[in-house]
Structure formats: C-alpha cells, structure tokens
Chains A and B, each alone.
Chain A
Amino acid sequence: MSDGELGIWGVPLAMLAGAIRVSTPFLFVSIGECLTERSGRINLGLEGTLVMGAMSAYGVALGTDSPWLGVLVAAGVGLLLGALHAAICQLPRVNDIATGIGLMLFATGLAFFLGKPFIQPKAPNLGAIDLGWWSDIPQVRQALQVNYLFILGVVLAFALAWALRNTRWGLIVRLAGESVDAALAIGASVGRVRLIATSIGGAFAGVGGAFLSLYYPGSWNEGLSSGQGLMAVALVIFARWDPIRCLWASLLFGAAGAISPALQSIGVTQGYYLFSAAPYVLTLALMIATCSPARSLRGAPGELGAVK
C-alpha cells in the first residue's frame, strides 16, 4: 500500500472527525432541550425546529449571500417556535408532549412547503477553522477542520452548566423545574421562566439546523435531519440533564454515526447495516444500563411530567 494510508488507524481518526462533524446538531438541540427541561417543560418539537432552522438559514443565506445572517435568522425562527410551544403549554390543561409532537409535525411540514424553492440552488456555506495546521498528515488536517458553530456549541455547553449552577438566574430556572411551590415562594414567575427557557432552547435548536444546511452536509433537502432532533431529545435523558454530559453524549453519537462509513472505507465491509445501526443500539444500551425499577431517574427535574 502506498504512503499516506493509515489503514486501521484511519478508523479511530475517522470516528474523531465524524464526532466533530456530525455532533454539532445533536449538541445544540440537546443543550437547548436540557435548558427547557431544567425549567420543567418538555419540548419534543425540537426536531421540527431543527428542520425549520435548517430551511430558513439556507433560504436567508441564499437570498443575502451571508451565511451568518442565516444562522441568526434560524435562531430567531427557533426562538419563535419555542415561544409558541411555551405559550400554548401555558394554557390550562394542555399536555406539553402532545403539543410538542403537534409543533414538530407543523414545523416540519411548513419547512418542506416553504423550502421547495431552495432545494436546487446553492447557498454560501459557513467556513471552518483549520486546527490541523501543525500536522502534515492530510487525514488529520481534514479531521481537524472545525466549524465555528461547533466551538460555539462547546462554549455554550460549559457556559450553560456554569450558569445553571452558579447564577441567580440558573437557580430560578432549576427551581421552576424542581418545585413550582419553591419558585413561587421566592417570587419567581414560573410561567415566564419557562417561556424564556423554552424560547432560548428553541433558538439553540434553530442554530443546530443552520449547521446542517450551511455547513455539514451543507445543503437543504427534505431528508436532511432524518430524526436527529428526536435523538437529541432522547440524548438529554441519558446525559442526566447536564449540559456538559450533553456535549460528551453528542460527540459519542457523532462518532457512532461515523463507524459504518469509516469501516467500509478501510475495507471492513461485512455487516454494514449493523454498524449503521450503532447510534440506535448505543441509545438502547445506555438507556438499559442507566435505568432502574427501584428509583426514578437521577438528576431528573422534579416537575418534569414524563419522568415523574
């Protein structure tokens, strides 16, 4: 074999590269959902927000020639969808799971409808930072092409974790999620806290969508998300509602998604269907490993309907 080939070492490298490339939408949706759920509300509609964000970012980038404006608009669209979810859930006797599913279908359908004219044209993409300048192995350089949004996501995960733990604002969010009575006792408006948390969570998911359409894979079409938003919501549960664990879980999912192509590209070709299912198997395995009939999920916000 010729030079420049890494053989079997290509697999861990490809998984690292895949983790960095594929994880960003998972990361944004999961930290958005994490914030929302910590305030005591579930937003299953983030899959729809992700798709809507992807479509609007692509459309705006195409129209204005500025991908960053697209990201901004995607965040705004996410914010609005989040606020809509929060406002509907505020009404008496409304189930937030049902609303979330409704909004997911609505946003996905709306994105497909409005996105028709954007399937063909080519919008400008977000750039990447070359962090592999120190290496002369092309594969390493390629793996370390890191997009700004990934870095932003990592910073946001740490910032959110810090803010939830150390600021008054974080305390109020956690209170709204743990105990409505306690939140009311210190004079916080639970409804407003949840409205703000859900809206910001939606904005994060919108940015995740912008990453899909403007960087990787970098074009708008209707199969773009294929359930990544839903997987990210599940990911929050086994990340135990901790933004930093959301980061690790997203990276793990990204890496698992890269296994199948990476193995096939070095010639391990048997059973690729099985390897393609790796992320889902991983979800199931982690769920089984972490659940117990004896106790409710550790770290779950007390007010969260689904796990009470």
Chain B
Amino acid sequence: MSDTFSIGRRGLLVGASGAAALGLAGNAQAQKPLVVGFIYVGPRDDYGYNQAHAEAAAILKKMPGVKVVEEEKVPETVAVEKSMQSMINLDGATLLFPTSFGYFDPHMLKEAARFPAVQFRHCGGLWQEGKNPKNTGSYFGYIDECQYLNGIAAGSTTKSGKLGFVAAKPIPQVLRNINAFTLGARSVNPKITTQVIFTGDWAMPVKEAEATNSMIAQGIDVVTCHVDSPKVVIETAERAGIFTCGYHCNQSKLAPKGYLTGAEWNWEKVYVDFIEAMKKGQAPGNFVRGGLKAGFVRPSAYGPAVTAGARTKADAVKAEMLTGNFAIFKDGLKDNKGNMVVPAGTTYSQTEPKLESMNYLIEGVVGSTS
C-alpha cells in the first residue's frame, strides 16, 4: 500500500521538478533545491529510533532551498537499493540518509559506487578511510553518555539493586549502551547488576513485553531498552509500577510516574550541519561523531521519582561530559567473563574507534553476547 502511495507522490515530484527545471531555464536566478532523501526501517512515528530521525527531517523541511523526500518501512534488503535508486533518479536527491544499521553494507556501498555524484551518509555504520568510497560516510552520536546518566538515575532509584535492559541484537552500539548504563549505575553502588535480555530483532512487541515481565518477576525494578520502539517496554513497566529510563525519544508521556530520564537523539544538529556544507558546495564529513558536548544527544528532563541527590550527581557528571573530558570506559575494566577489556591505566576517550567495535558485556551485566 505504502508503495503505491510513494510512487504516486514520486510521480508528482518528478512532475514538479520537471516544472522547476523549465522554470530554471526561464529564470537563471532561481535556485535548484537541494533534495535530501531519508529512508527509515520502520514507521516514522514509532516513539523511537525512526521518529527521532523523522523529527529532524521535519525541521529540515522548513529550511529554504531544501526539499525532503522520505520513505518508511523499507526492509534491510535489496528493497533499500531500489528506494535509493528511485530517490536519486526520480526525485533528483543528491544527499541520502539511509538511517538503519543494516542498510550500510552492502546496500548503501553498492549504490554509492553506482552513483559517485551523490552523497550517502549512514547512521551508525563504521566508515573507514580508504576502504569505503569517498562519497559515503557515517554519523552517530555518543548516546552512551546519556545512557551513563540514565544509569546514575537508575542506580540511585533501585531498591533491589537489579536493573533490566531489553536489547534487540548484540551489535556494538547496543553493547556500548548496556555497558555505559551499567557503569553509570555502578558508579552509585558497585553492587548493582544489569540483567540483559536480547529479543533478537528491532521490533518484536510481544517478546519485548515478555522480556519486561520476566524481569519484573525476577525482582528488577528499573528497566530500560535499546529497541526501535521503546513504547511497549515503557508501558509494560509503568503498568507494573516499576521505573524506566527512555531511549531514542522522550517517552515521559507514556510513564508519568515511573519515567526517570532518557537518552534522546538530537539529529537536527547533524543534519543541519550536513546541509550547510552541501549548500557551500562542500561534501559533508565522512566520519561524524559527537556526544553531549556537540549537541548530538540530550538527556530527557528528570521524572518525579528522581531524588534531589541523584539529580545533583547526574548533573555533575553531565557538566563534566559537556567539557569533553569525561571518559566512560577506562582503567582496568573487566568483561563479565573476567577478561580485561580496558587495561589498567588506559583511558578510552569517547572518540576511540575501539569502542565502536565493542563485543563484550562488562562486569556487572548478567547476559551473554551469543
């Protein structure tokens, strides 16, 4: 259904750009708009990952000289290649944002080789100099900083000392979030543990609800998650009367009592920077990363259950993060199998590439990556 609609809309856009081209011939001063394409893996209004991008796209639509084309619910298969091709060929897009993790390799790289004049920027992938084409790149936010702050709020609130994390797949970004959340909580009380449950995919509503319920049954009293739409986890936890930390977007409306704080994206910062570069005729950055300091991520406002003490503690760490000097992964950190993953005396700054290929769960996390 959505396909027919997008083709209809595309047809319209082709007509419109055709008309624009004609107009251009008559009026040399008229500027051709910069067409930017967004591709989402799920619905745009999922209270989560896709919504965070779509909200930023909505802001871009208001910029003069920018036209945004969007397509949602595109699977991580050859389907995304077709979407990219039609955005380029029919809509005249010159900057594409395929936002889902699985779009990067091989789909986006293949299309980038086919259309060298188009800029491709992928969210979350690990772009490597020399290995990946120059017209591609990746951007991502150090949202683990906000996860660390979530962890402080969660660790200060829990009574059982047991936290829960509903995760989709054991990929580096997810593991980094789980680990940062746990480190934040253990900075409050080193005895705290985080139970992780993997559901196996980005959107599995029934499994997410089951995972949350089985955590509640084990006495866990604060849960958070890394799935595409945290709505189910947050609502299930709120109904059971336990606390939650949000992810991707602000979910405080879903859990007015139990919502502590949340890790939110602030993609408009990244996208506006990219578009400014394109307008100046430059290629946007190939490897763009940033955390709280760069404004790529932000924490949600504290919920009513967060004590004044916890707020002070989290705010102090946040202030340190804003100076850019705070390191989450440092000094003799062990994984939950007892292996040393960060040697003593070593500090990994947030930009450390090793952190982007994280494949372990740290001490204090109950769970396994396979």
Q: Do A and B come from one complex?
A: yes
Point out residues on A near B: beta carbons under 8 Å: 2, 4-6, 10, 13-14, 17-18, 21-22, 109-110, 112-113, 116, 119-120, 122, 125, 138-139, 142-143, 212, 216-219, 221-224, 226, 228, 257-258, 260-262, 264-267, 269-273, 276
Please, which residues of chain A bring their CB within 8 A of the CB of B200? Answer: 260, 272-273, 276
Listed from nearest, the 3 A-B pairs whose CB atoms lie closest are A269-B368, A217-B209, A109-B1
Instruction: Establish whether residues B197 and A264, one from each chain, have CB atoms under 8 Å apart when the complex forms.
Output: yes
Q: Known pairs A219-B232, A228-B206. 20 more at Cβ < 8 A?
A: A2-B219, A4-B219, A10-B218, A21-B210, A21-B213, A109-B1, A109-B2, A119-B46, A122-B235, A143-B217, A217-B235, A218-B235, A257-B210, A261-B210, A261-B214, A264-B195, A265-B197, A265-B215, A267-B195, A269-B196
Q: A122-B254, A224-B205, A261-B197 are in contact. Are A219 and B213 (CB under 8 A)?
A: no
B1: which of A4, A6, A110 is its contact (CB, 8 Å)?
Answer: A110
Point out residues on B near A: beta carbons under 8 Å: 1-2, 42-43, 45-47, 73, 160, 195-200, 203-211, 213-219, 229, 231-232, 235-236, 239-240, 253-254, 366-368, 370
Instruction: Establish whether residues A261 and B216, one from each chain, have CB atoms under 8 Å apart when the complex forms.
Output: no
Please, which residues of chain A bring their CB within 8 A of the CB of B210? Answer: 18, 21-22, 257-258, 261-262
Instruction: Establish whether residues A222 and B214, one from each chain, have CB atoms under 8 Å apart when the complex forms.
Output: no
Instruction: Establish whether residues A217 and B214, one from each chain, have CB atoms under 8 Å apart when the complex forms.
Output: no
- Distance of A113 Cα from B72 Cα, bound (Å): 12
Q: A17-B213, A218-B235 are in contact. Are A226 and B219 (CB under 8 A)?
A: no
- Distance of A264 Cα from B195 Cα, bound (Å): 8
Please, which residues of chain A bring their CB within 8 A of the CB of B46? Answer: 119, 221
The smallest C-beta distance from B361 to any residue of chain A, in angstroms, reads: 9
- Residue on A nearest B231 in the bound complex, by CB: A219
20 contacts between A and B (CB under 8 A): A18-B214, A109-B2, A110-B1, A113-B1, A122-B254, A138-B219, A217-B209, A219-B205, A221-B43, A221-B229, A222-B42, A261-B199, A261-B211, A261-B213, A264-B195, A264-B197, A265-B211, A272-B200, A272-B368, A273-B200
B198: which of A6, A139, A212, A264 is its contact (CB, 8 Å)?
Answer: A264
- Distance of A286 Cα from B196 Cα, bound (Å): 31
The smallest C-beta distance from A264 to any residue of chain B, in angstroms, reads: 4
Instruction: Establish whether residues B214 and A223, one from each chain, have CB atoms under 8 Å apart when the complex forms.
Output: no
Instruction: Establish whether residues B204 and A2, one from each chain, have CB atoms under 8 Å apart when the complex forms.
Output: no
- Distance of A65 Cα from B136 Cα, bound (Å): 49
- Residue on A nearest B217 in the bound complex, by CB: A139
The smallest C-beta distance from A15 to any residue of chain B, in angstroms, reads: 10
- Distance of A201 Cα from B92 Cα, bound (Å): 49
Please, which residues of chain A bring their CB within 8 A of the CB of B73? Answer: 222
Instruction: Establish whether residues A14 and B217, one from each chain, have CB atoms under 8 Å apart when the complex forms.
Output: yes
- Distance of A228 Cα from B205 Cα, bound (Å): 12
Instruction: Establish whether residues A223 and B1, one from each chain, have CB atoms under 8 Å apart when the complex forms.
Output: no
- Residue on B nearest A119 in the bound complex, by CB: B45
Q: A261-B210, A262-B214 are in contact. Are A116 and B45 (CB under 8 A)?
A: yes
- Residue on A nearest B169 in the bound complex, by CB: A273
Instruction: Establish whether residues A269 and B229, one from each chain, have CB atoms under 8 Å apart when the complex forms.
Output: no
Please, which residues of chain B bring their CB within 8 A of the CB of A22? Answer: 206, 210
A142: which of B42, B195, B217, B232 is its contact (CB, 8 Å)?
Answer: B217
- Residue on B nearest A224 in the bound complex, by CB: B205
The smallest C-beta distance from A276 to any residue of chain B, in angstroms, reads: 5
Please, which residues of chain A bring their CB within 8 A of the CB of B199? Answer: 261, 276
The smallest C-beta distance from A142 to any residue of chain B, in angstroms, reads: 6
The smallest C-beta distance from A252 to any residue of chain B, in angstroms, reads: 15
Instruction: Establish whether residues A5 and B204, one from each chain, have CB atoms under 8 Å apart when the complex forms.
Output: no
- Distance of A71 Cα from B144 Cα, bound (Å): 42
Instruction: Establish whether residues A226 and B231, one from each chain, have CB atoms under 8 Å apart when the complex forms.
Output: no
Please, which residues of chain A bring their CB within 8 A of the CB of B235? Answer: 122, 217-219
Which of B231, B240, B254, B366 has most A Cβ within 10 Å?
B231
Which of B73, B200, B206, B232 has most A Cβ within 10 Å?
B206
- Residue on B nearest A140 in the bound complex, by CB: B217
Instruction: Establish whether residues B209 and A13, one from each chain, have CB atoms under 8 Å apart when the complex forms.
Output: no
Please, which residues of chain B bring their CB within 8 A of the CB of A120? Answer: 45, 47
